[in-house]
Amino acid sequence: FVTKAGQANLYEIQSSKLALKISRNPEVITFAKEMIADHTKAETALKATAHTTRLYPPKVLDKDNKGKLKDLGKKGNDFDKAYINAQVDAHNDAVNLFTDYSKNGTEEHLKAFSIKTLPTLLTHKDHIDALKAKL
């Protein structure tokens, strides 16, 4: 859970920083800023929580997420659509991960973290689904 949640946070932050550099769509930019702020907070909370269990989230993206980020950066004029689709997929995965751990997790501190973080992820999911419907 710690590794997957950590990778999710890193990807959300880095892909959203890329969106700030590339996108010209005000709604995409607003969403990207929200992702950077919220996932930076979640990353900090995950580090603090995981530390109590002697687990440590990753500090860099894994090969798969690096590849996704690199591909996203090559989208050019199709960047906004690709970014939104990537965010939809990432948030579906994150909601599933956090929902599962909040119900079935075995480490109480991490379970509490997942329960506390899940509503924010659901809000993000709703936001990105609405944005996708607009574009």
Angle at CA of residue 63, ends 57 and 67, nearest 5°: 125
Q: What is the mean pLDDT of residues 53-79?
A: 93
Residue-wise pLDDT tens digits, 72-106: 999 988 999 999 999 999 999 999 999 999 999 99
Euclidean distance between CA atoms 99 and 111, whole angstroms: 10
Residue 68 DSSP SS3: helix
Percent of the chain with pLDDT over 90: 92
